[in-house]
Chain A
Amino acid sequence: MASQRRKRGENLIIRYLILGAWALFCLMPVLWFLSIGLRPRVEIITPQPIYWPTFSLDAWHMIWEDWPMAKYLRNSILAIFGSVLIDLVLGIPAAYSLARYQYRGRDDIAFYILSTRMMAPAIVAIPIFFLFRNAGLLDTIWALMLIYAAINLSFVTWIIRSYMLDIPKELEDAARTDGASDLRILWEIIIPAILPGIITASVIAMIFAINEFLFTLLIASTPNAYTMSVALANFTGGSDGVIYNAIALVAFLAFVPVFLVVVAIQKHLSRGLTMGAVKGG
């Protein structure tokens, strides 16, 4: 077979050596995460690193009993889902407008939306801090929801727009001759047709929201608004230093659902990550 001969032409050993080496490099810290999360605290920082620790659920008990982990989890979930909802409500109509109409200033508006993605959080951090302080929203999940939504809105709009551009126009035109209004077409034809795009955009927005650190650090000052990401940074036992096993375990537990969701949308990931610039794969 042609493909057999093709494979013989290059060195498979080098290929698998390189891919295997990187896979090892990827996964070793992950195993390290698990091993830290499931060992007692006394075995973390030792004169000689311990590679085969005693199994212990200390961290598991600690995160639920010593820390309001349930509250952090709730804060994270509310802020993240709320922000994705805001993004979809604002982003879907915006994407539809940018994908389907010809009007003056359209490309500038599209680029403006894209360019907000470039803004370094640190640049706007101080004014945003004062804005939320004056609005009395400091240390609330409402502020987090609003800021996560703002960070992700450009991504969400561009991804959804890219999927809308793929829909053949005839689909709409047929409905339009039947007298359907533009909004009804959006709701009944476009949105169902681009559901994978909407899901992809939501998942990517969710990941960025989970990861967000700087704004959360500034906005959340008490467990009232701590999310997982920033709560981790506060896992310090005062004079004892950082509680690494709790951090590792929480990070691992948070990783599992994210991983499963991302594997489910794998096919769309590259397109989502480039805001729709790369298709397929």
Chain B
Amino acid sequence: MSNSSLPDAGATAVAPAMVTHRPRPRRRSKRLKAWFPYLLVAPAVIYLFLITLYPGVYAIIQSFHAVKFGPWQPVGFANYVKLFGDYQFWGALWNTFVIGSIALTLQCVIALTLAFYAYRDPWVQGWRIIFLVPMLFMPSAVAFIFKLAFLDGRVVSDLLMRVGLIDANLSIQSSIWMSRGLLIIADVWQWTPFLFIIFVAALQGQDEEVEEAARLDGASWAAIFWNISLPLMKPVIAVALILRGIDITTMFTNVFIITKGGPAFGTETISYFIYRTGFKFFNFGYASAASVVMLIITIIIAQLVVKRAFVSVRT
């Protein structure tokens, strides 16, 4: 009992609120009450610790070893030194950034445009259901269908030739930018709905009286959108873009199925880089070093950006 400093600290913090419910709590139940919220949240936190903290520590330790098939050989910072000199690692970071930022920008602009036109439309429910469709297909299947349409089946090339835009089959697989474009199009097709659904809800949820007043003053819809709706939506847009941004920067499925990182590693994302070094070349220590670097970047971004965005929306 004497070493339980945490529950006592909790008890003092909780006491005022509790007193209103139970005027004279017995000492033991008071102690239990202070523990109670921690008990409720503990299983979830422990579970998440197991699945995030444990792997984090494991990856850090592994990153200081050479791990192939035999026992682990301690190598100090060798993996990190090699990593920072590895042009494929920097290339993967760059690809992730390029593909991610273009895809995210496109999705945001398209979703905002669509939401702007759809939310005042009498058939907004219908538009929502139609636009939702791509999001609900399994990403692995979507990747295959895009691969078929653009690469194996040459459907897109054929259609473009029929309308006379090009005169020969596109050689997408030998062009870095066309391959990146393919990954971007697949992502835009499947995930613009995610942002659209959120933006429409935010626009529908805004105060109609403000809009009405602006209309009576003769403001155009576009002006209302730019000057009133958009600034009010900023926190929502931030949260939506963060959630989408997380998924884009961890892009793996489409790379794995459509491009395999090629040509010339031009579409290799950081997730695919880790997968390739770890599970293709069985260079686990090296892959872990890359994981740790990513982990550190993730934590910094989480603390700086995500925390602020979610707090600002809640209030």
Contact = CB atoms under 8 A, between A and B. Distances in A.
Interface of A: 6, 9-10, 14-15, 18-19, 22-23, 25-27, 29-30, 32-33, 36, 44-46, 48-49, 89-91, 93-94, 96-98, 100-104, 106, 109, 111-131, 146-147, 149-150, 153-154, 157, 173, 176-177, 182, 207, 210-211, 213-214, 217-218, 228-230, 232-233, 241-242, 244, 247-248, 250-251, 254-255, 258-259, 262-263, 266, 269-271, 273-275, 277-281
Contact of A266 (B44, B62, B128, B221): B128
Interface of B: 9-10, 13-14, 17, 21, 34, 36-38, 40-41, 43-45, 47-48, 50-52, 54-56, 58-59, 62, 110, 113-114, 117-118, 121, 125, 127-134, 136-142, 144-149, 152-155, 158, 189, 193-194, 197-198, 200-205, 215, 220-221, 235-236, 239-240, 243, 246, 249-250, 252-253, 256-257, 270-272, 274-275, 278-279, 284, 287-288, 291, 294-295, 298-299, 301-302, 306-307, 310, 313-314
18 contacts: A19-B127, A27-B133, A29-B142, A45-B148, A114-B306, A120-B298, A123-B274, A124-B59, A130-B58, A150-B51, A213-B256, A230-B140, A232-B138, A254-B138, A270-B197, A274-B313, A275-B243, A281-B203
Main secondary structure of the interface of B (DSSP, over half): helix
Contacts of B202: 270, 278, 281
Contacts of B314: 277
Contact of A211 (B139, B301, B313): B139
Given A27-B130, A125-B274, A247 B144 contact: yes
Contacts of B149: 29, 32
A243 B243 CA distance: 33
Best-surrounded residue of B50, B121, B201, B256 (most CB of chain A within 10 A): B201
Contact of B45 (A89, A94, A228, A259): A94
Contacts of B21: 173, 176-177
Contact of B291 (A89, A91, A122): A122
Nearest to B148: A244
Given A103-B13, A207-B136, 11 more contacts: A18-B114, A23-B127, A29-B149, A30-B133, A97-B40, A117-B243, A120-B271, A127-B55, A150-B51, A232-B144, A242-B148
Given A113-B45, A154-B48, A266-B128, A281 B54 contact: no
Contact of B37 (A103, A117, A126): A103
B133 A121 contact: no
B198 A278 contact: yes
A116 B48 contact: yes
A203 B92 CA distance: 34
Contact of A26 (B130, B155, B298): B130
Nearest to B9: A104
A127 B50 CA distance: 11
A266 B125 contact: yes
B301 A213 contact: no
A211 B141 CA distance: 10
A101 B51 contact: no
B33 to A, nearest CB: 8
A188 B139 CA distance: 39
Contacts of B272: 122
Contact of A270 (B58, B200, B298): B200
A49 B154 contact: yes
B153 A115 contact: no
Contact of A153 (B37, B44, B125, B288): B44
Contacts of B43: 89-90, 93-94
A255 B45 contact: no
A2 B136 CA distance: 39
Contacts of B287: 126
A225 to B, nearest CB: 16
